[in-house]
Amino acid sequence: MERGSLWCKVLRAKYCNANHSKPSSWWLDLSQVCSPEGHEMWFEDNIKRKLREGNDTLFWKDDWLNQGKLIDKYPRLFHLSTQGNYHVKKMGYWTNGTWNWDFKWRRPLRDPENQLLKTFLLSVNTATLHEGSLDSWTWTAAAEGMYTVSSAYDVLQGEIVEERGRIFQNLWEIPAPSNTLAFGWRVLHDRNQTRENLRKRHVLHLEEEVVCPLCFHAEESSSHLLFTCPFAWNVWMATYKWLGITTVLPKEVEGHFLQHISFCWSKRQMLGAWVIWISVIWSIWSHRNAIIFKEGNVDVDKVIDLIQFRSWSWLRGKFKGFCCSLYDWQIQPAFAIAML
């Protein structure tokens, strides 16, 4: 519902009148349904800001880039800004149809802050503003982007309108240890304890605390750590070379999970291939923990050896009919999968 729409005006007049001594039971029920205590901020998680000219979007305090709030990502710059409560529209000006940022600081920025500013500018310059067009909201749980009661019900029942049921059903059928499958489930839901997620939970605060410990070039999110980080990319490329496959890696997790079985023809072959997928993400995560907590060194070859051994031992112990030796598995894994 847009801010200036008729229904918005009706609701404001009826339920937001300052003369009411207490809110209506209808308003209380609605507030309770939207409570983060009951449903983990289900409503906020399924609306997305559609930025146009930035008239109704707070620059620092709204997630208008869909990358996290700038106040959380760049707290140092926020505290130096004199525009802490400004809307995006007031953070610059138009010149002949071109948008120009106009940031104002309490004092001249020092060298470390100027370096941080460069990253900051790369983020904000990814947005496209539209002069004379008002901001709006999109409901991401429905394909049309419009809120419906049925789509909200699906969200509250844990059945987001996406084709994810088949993915998770297949996940729990993979013949691998239950703790690694639980880890795979968290990865697919983006609920593992990466530094980005710890920052969202206010466990970590500084920019330098959320940097990937494997490459030190980007924020440690699930997709970065396990798929797009240069270290992870090298691991995946070495894995697919071992399998005899040439491929282009998707950046998003679900697409990666599904593409991994593109060379399989049967359900048994798919489960065998997914064992390798689980082994890769588990081995990268374990290697990351060893580097952080045991001062280990980045070593792609070591991770590949563990991937081969783990996937073989899981199939050997949990997959009926798998009788391949470790040597044959290391030499011809694709042939062994094809024989499943």
* pLDDT class of 7 with cuts at 50, 70, 90: low
Return the bridge partners of 219, or none: 211
Return the bridge partners of 58, or none: 87
pLDDT at 106 over 60: yes
pLDDT at 14 (0 to 100): 64
Specify the higher pLDDT residue, 201 or 324: 324
pLDDT at 77 (0 to 100): 94
pLDDT at 4 (0 to 100): 60
Segment 172-185 shows an average pLDDT of 94
Domain layout of the chain by residue ranges: 38-151, 165-338
Number of Cβ within a 10 Å radius of residue 310: 21
pLDDT at 160 over 50: no
Nearest to 180 by CA among 107, 95, 282, 265: 282
Specify the higher pLDDT residue, 301 or 143: 301
pTM: predicted TM-score of the whole model, two decimal places: 0.55
Segment 11-25 shows an average pLDDT of 57
First to last CA, the chain: 54
Specify the higher pLDDT residue, 142 or 10: 142
Segment 28-32 shows an average pLDDT of 58
Which of these ranges, 7-21, 145-159, 274-288, has the smallest mean pLDDT?
7-21
φ/ψ (deg, to 5) at 100: -125, 125
pLDDT at 42 (0 to 100): 73
φ/ψ (deg, to 5) at 99: -85, 135
Distance, in Å, from the CA atom of 148 to the CA atom of 89, rounded to the nearest integer, reads 30
Distance, in Å, from the CA atom of 56 to the CA atom of 49, rounded to the nearest integer, reads 10
pLDDT at 66 (0 to 100): 79
Nearest to 40 by CA among 169, 158, 148: 158
Which of these ranges, 259-268, 282-291, 312-321, has the smallest mean pLDDT?
259-268
pLDDT at 225 over 50: yes
323: which DSSP letter?
A: -
Return the bridge partners of 101, or none: 92
Return the bridge partners of 136, or none: 50
pLDDT at 278 over 90: yes
Distance, in Å, from the CA atom of 254 to the CA atom of 307, rounded to the nearest integer, reads 20
Specify the higher pLDDT residue, 40 or 69: 69
Distance, in Å, from the CA atom of 151 to the CA atom of 300, rounded to the nearest integer, reads 44
